[in-house]
Chains A and B, each alone.
Chain A
């Protein structure tokens, strides 16, 4: 015989239990798939990023300055710890594009001479590099070119140093420096609005009177070099040339955005899928141990006829392993497919990498499958051990009748309210509190993961609402090419159709309290500020006091200061003076850490009359288009955006990825919930079928015995629902702790919609399970059940 009788039993059991096998395998598959999807997408992006950076020599340190003679470069190379220096001419330009209501913000970057690749090398995706001898050729950022449907050979208009030029596009390119592009002042990533143009060094220098000079430095460090020392030395060398302060790679805008996006993805790819995996494992453990325990009498028979404990254990190990492996195959395949899709979604819509390599590493598969397998094996072995520890003679008997007591309800004198059926339900539940607890915990965990899956959407909606409805109240945000005097705001105010204009100042500062410090920004607002509201944790507006500084709550926590304490503020540009201010209040902002002061305090702190970088406008909506036309023509306007439109844009990009993520997790969580509720019902049916058949023989109707079984199951679900919502809330809190609070803070907020959905998924899966079990119940073999012990 090729296949032993015991293995035949295995296959037949699997086939007989197929409803349960399939649902349990799906629970496993969902746990594994969510882990594999998120982990592999995250790893693929990180891998693509690091190979991109390495291959295209992304710099470690960046510095920009007004202008320095080319010879200074040698002094930079001489700094201890510096490996390679690349000096460039980089200029902000305007790119008015046909069909765009607002001009795109452009950056012209000089290409290295002599055909050397330099740092932050450009990856050519189409066409050719510009001829270094020609001043009318440029290579264009491919995301921008694609967004506008440009082709090599087309011309693009560029306002360089106040003069309009027509440049011929020689090709498209991308660079690690511009993976993630965001126009200044904008809150969203819109490839249409930001252009990068690479041109020959001489052409850029000539256009900006920078011949024999540079205004931008990128450098790499020797392995083991101290970044802080190099930054300090760099600042010292460049200080006479109007340096704006060197920044490490961590603060380079594209990298900063990319890594905060990746860290957000990591928190999504880390906590939640691991949670799913463990929830699935826990449920697997409970369900399989019950399933095995139901075969108590068969286990005893196997022992009676001479099978050793080891043989029996092995038999059930094979059973559960097959279920898990079935789930693992489905889960890994689905996870790999979805992981690739997510990676492509990210790299296609969001990050620009020359190659988006999808990688599914063995450890991701091994870890997820092992955790599931281990949970199943532990569950099954615990059940087998429980049975084999009994002498076979005892295990073959049905378990001795358990001791029932009058239930609490009855002791409270409420027994008159309960009919015999309800009494059975109540006593059964009270008799087996552990089973009730495990079942309810299992269901509540699945409710909890449905909640946390839906949470991301809630968090986005909440943050968008706070940011764009309650905090930013302007119709139009105008960003300037460079800081301007307050006159600029007045000029905007006098524009037809503009009802109100408020200027906002921002300056890079270092906050210091004792030995703790943070580099961040100081924001200054007009005294009669209306168009920007600072909010506290309850969403209430915080008005700026005439003196003192209001800090982001997280910044105060980092500096370990409280309202009333004093904080030192050191300017990181211009005079670099250090002053101090009293902390007069705290605000809760979802992103970043800043200090906010009123304009007079701002002037006092920086020691000069403040300049403004941004203007907020309230306008006549009917004239918005004309206002844009006028703003476009102002040479000192770098970017114009509507906060009101941000939400739409966000939904179209980052938001859509988040929604996909939420959808995937919600789908998995729902399948897990269905699997758990269904298996609970099926196992309850097996456990109670003898009792229920006896009742049928005594004259109970099908409906009556169904009511008893469903009474018990309903009690589990009813108990699990509030517990599950609470578990969901706890999980959301735990999730908040996994993100870097200095970059952004997740609100602990779950919408009623999400709670309602989690309840609905559970209740609907309970109803469907009841319906399926009811069919089995109707087919209950009365005589058969009574004649045998199983």
Chain B
């Protein structure tokens, strides 16, 4: 795979300061970052290293305090709320640690929630089949296991045919076995659909499935290295 081709996301000098109660928290302190077309990138870091903040800004869920971020040349740091909404709607698929499914909607309907507003979606049942849930279309989140819920969340993210798939600790709430299954789904989507993917984890062995690994520590990029031996999720152990 030619990972040097198109750069999908470019961030320069990103900082982010939160006010949490009575203290300022510097989540990002000058981060430069790129995400290339078709690659599977793993963002590693301890909790509090700023990786979720970075991912949220890349996905248009949050805006930086300073610095710039561009998606295929479009400035996201200065985009309006409605531009960010459109960006998320058309280009980004999200997978969250806690799935964030709508509890009152079935698996199928949770996916349909997105396909109904997307411009070029795949059918919800197809997306669910892709994550191996073709049989559980009409179950509510409460009737699904954690791994199944996360796979619904992935189906929901990819059903819109996003250019970028952003996953925040997708295995964080799951046991090993289930976590591997979820990673396999993400890996397959990246390989088969060519969706540019960024996965956050604090779990170092997971990095072996990536094309590139960026390590964050204390709000800064600590390491950025290419993984020459990308392996299948089923081969990893932790």
Interface residues of A (CB under 8 A from B): 1, 4-6, 8-9, 12-13, 16, 297-298, 300-309, 311, 391-394, 396, 400-403, 784, 787-790
A311 partner residues in chain B, CB cutoff 8 A: 117
Q: A1-B112, A393-B56 are in contact. List 4 more A-B contacts (CB 8 A).
A: A9-B104, A305-B88, A391-B56, A403-B21
Within 27-73 of B, Cβ neighbours of A (below 8 Å) are at 52-53, 56, 59, 61-63
Binds A, one of B89-97, B127-135, B216-224, B227-235: B89-97
The verdict on B8 contacting chain A, using a C-beta distance below 8 Å, is no
Partner of B85, one of A4, A306, A401: A306
Cα distance A788–B92 when bound, in Å?
A: 23
Instruction: Name the residue of chain B whose CB is nearest to the CB of A301.
Output: B100
Instruction: Name the residue of chain A whose CB is nearest to the CB of B22.
Output: A403
CB pair B22–A306 under 8 Å, yes or no, is no
Interface residues of B (CB under 8 A from A): 20-22, 52-53, 56, 59, 61-63, 81-82, 85-86, 88-90, 92, 94, 96, 98-105, 109-110, 112-114, 116-118, 142, 146, 156, 160, 173
CB pair A5–B173 under 8 Å, yes or no, is no
Partner of A298, one of B20, B61, B102, B118: B102
CB pair A788–B109 under 8 Å, yes or no, is no
Distance between B187 CB and nearest chain A CB, rounded to angstroms: 22
CB pair B61–A5 under 8 Å, yes or no, is no
CB pair B100–A784 under 8 Å, yes or no, is no
Cα distance A402–B81 when bound, in Å?
A: 27
12 contacts between A and B (CB under 8 A): A13-B104, A300-B100, A301-B100, A302-B113, A304-B61, A305-B88, A305-B114, A306-B90, A306-B92, A306-B114, A784-B142, A788-B99
Instruction: Name the residue of chain A whose CB is nearest to the CB of B52.
Output: A393
Distance between A405 CB and nearest chain B CB, rounded to angstroms: 12
Cα distance A311–B113 when bound, in Å?
A: 12
CB pair A309–B81 under 8 Å, yes or no, is yes
CB pair B105–A8 under 8 Å, yes or no, is yes
Distance between B106 CB and nearest chain A CB, rounded to angstroms: 9
Cα distance A309–B56 when bound, in Å?
A: 18
Distance between B128 CB and nearest chain A CB, rounded to angstroms: 14
Cα distance A303–B59 when bound, in Å?
A: 12
Q: A306-B89, A308-B82, A396-B96 are in contact. Are A401 and B105 (CB under 8 A)?
A: no
Chain A CB count within 10 A is highest, among B92, B100, B114, B160, for B100
Q: A306-B89, A393-B56 are in contact. Are A9 and B146 (CB under 8 A)?
A: no
Cα distance A297–B101 when bound, in Å?
A: 10
Distance between A586 CB and nearest chain B CB, rounded to angstroms: 63
A787 partner residues in chain B, CB cutoff 8 A: 98, 146, 173
Chain B CB count within 10 A is highest, among A13, A303, A309, for A303
Instruction: Name the residue of chain A whose CB is nearest to the CB of B101.
Output: A301
Instruction: Name the residue of chain B whose CB is nearest to the CB of A397.
Output: B52
Cα distance A403–B22 when bound, in Å?
A: 9
CB pair B118–A306 under 8 Å, yes or no, is yes
CB pair A309–B105 under 8 Å, yes or no, is no
Cα distance A9–B142 when bound, in Å?
A: 15
Cα distance A401–B20 when bound, in Å?
A: 8
Cα distance A306–B161 when bound, in Å?
A: 13
B56 partner residues in chain A, CB cutoff 8 A: 391-393
CB pair A9–B21 under 8 Å, yes or no, is no
Instruction: Name the residue of chain A whose CB is nearest to the CB of B87.
Output: A306
CB pair A308–B85 under 8 Å, yes or no, is yes
CB pair A12–B85 under 8 Å, yes or no, is no
The 9 A-B residue pairs with the shortest CB-CB distance, nearest first, are A306-B89, A393-B56, A12-B104, A393-B61, A5-B113, A393-B62, A5-B112, A301-B100, A391-B62
B90 partner residues in chain A, CB cutoff 8 A: 306
Chain B CB count within 10 A is highest, among A1, A16, A403, A784, for A1
Distance between A302 CB and nearest chain B CB, rounded to angstroms: 8
Cα distance A392–B92 when bound, in Å?
A: 14
Distance between B154 CB and nearest chain A CB, rounded to angstroms: 13
Cα distance A9–B102 when bound, in Å?
A: 8
Distance between A36 CB and nearest chain B CB, rounded to angstroms: 33
Distance between A117 CB and nearest chain B CB, rounded to angstroms: 69
CB pair A303–B62 under 8 Å, yes or no, is no
CB pair B102–A307 under 8 Å, yes or no, is no
Partner of A4, one of B82, B92, B116, B160: B116
A300 partner residues in chain B, CB cutoff 8 A: 100
Chain B CB count within 10 A is highest, among A8, A309, A790, for A8
Distance between B181 CB and nearest chain A CB, rounded to angstroms: 18
Instruction: Name the residue of chain A whose CB is nearest to the CB of B157.
Output: A305
B63 partner residues in chain A, CB cutoff 8 A: 391
Cα distance A6–B103 when bound, in Å?
A: 12
Distance between B208 CB and nearest chain A CB, rounded to angstroms: 27
B116 partner residues in chain A, CB cutoff 8 A: 1, 4-6
Instruction: Name the residue of chain B whose CB is nearest to the CB of A300.
Output: B100
Chain B CB count within 10 A is highest, among A304, A305, A307, A394, for A305
Distance between B203 CB and nearest chain A CB, rounded to angstroms: 18
Cα distance A393–B53 when bound, in Å?
A: 8
Cα distance A790–B85 when bound, in Å?
A: 24
A4 partner residues in chain B, CB cutoff 8 A: 112, 116
Q: A303-B85, A304-B61, A306-B85 are in contact. Are A396 and B100 (CB under 8 A)?
A: yes
Chain A CB count within 10 A is highest, among B53, B99, B103, B112, for B103
Partner of B61, one of A1, A297, A392, A401: A392
Cα distance A394–B53 when bound, in Å?
A: 10
Q: A305-B113, A309-B81, A392-B61 are in contact. Are A9 and B118 (CB under 8 A)?
A: no
CB pair B100–A297 under 8 Å, yes or no, is yes
Chain A CB count within 10 A is highest, among B52, B89, B102, B118, for B102
Cα distance A302–B105 when bound, in Å?
A: 13
CB pair A5–B109 under 8 Å, yes or no, is yes
Q: A391-B62, A400-B21 are in contact. Are A5 and B110 (CB under 8 A)?
A: yes
Cα distance A776–B179 when bound, in Å?
A: 33
Q: A5-B109, A5-B112 are in contact. Are A401 and B21 (CB under 8 A)?
A: yes
A400 partner residues in chain B, CB cutoff 8 A: 20-21
Partner of B98, one of A5, A298, A789: A789
Instruction: Name the residue of chain A whose CB is nearest to the CB of B118.
Output: A306
Distance between A461 CB and nearest chain B CB, rounded to angstroms: 52
Q: A305-B94, A306-B114 are in contact. Are A394 and B105 (CB under 8 A)?
A: no
Cα distance A298–B56 when bound, in Å?
A: 17
A305 partner residues in chain B, CB cutoff 8 A: 88-89, 94, 113-114, 156
A308 partner residues in chain B, CB cutoff 8 A: 82, 85, 89
Cα distance A300–B105 when bound, in Å?
A: 16
A12 partner residues in chain B, CB cutoff 8 A: 104-105
